[in-house]
Amino acid sequence: MMLINLQVIPAISANNDFLYATDKGLSIKGQVRETGAPIPCRLRLFEKLSGRMVAEVVTDQNGFYEFDHLTKTKFFIVAHHPTSEFNAVIQDNVVPK
């Protein structure tokens, strides 16, 4: 079983009308783990309301990732297993802070 461990990091954003902030904005960061062990993989961030993809990142070797320059809106994250052994894992209703 692959789990996404999220840690939402607060930041300051003056612009809540768009998905991206001109400064660092709000952030979502965390670590992807499979049965307790960190794994590197590809993650995609989607805006929940429209369903459009906002960003894509690859974790480091320890499964850590960060999405930044975000504004306060709801997102969902899709983690893709590096060997396609499992279907993608989705973390829903993620709100950066």
- Condensed to tens digits (0 to 9), the pLDDT of residues 23-81 reads 677 999 999 999 899 999 999 999 999 999 999 999 999 999 999 989 889 999 999 99
Q: How confident is the model at residue 11 (pLDDT cuts 50, 70, 90)?
A: very low
**Pairing state between β 26-34 and 64-70:** antiparallel
Concatenate the DSSP letters of all residues of 30-79 into one string: EEEEETTEE---EEEEEETTT--EEEEEE--TTSEEEEEEE-SS-EEEEE
Report pTM: 0.75
Residue type, 85: E
Q: How confident is the model at residue 3 (pLDDT cuts 50, 70, 90)?
A: low
Q: Rounded to a whole number, what is the distance in angstroms from the first to the last CA of the chain?
A: 28
Domains of the chain and CATH, by start: 2-94 (2.60.40.10)
Whether 18 shows a pLDDT value over 60: the answer reads no
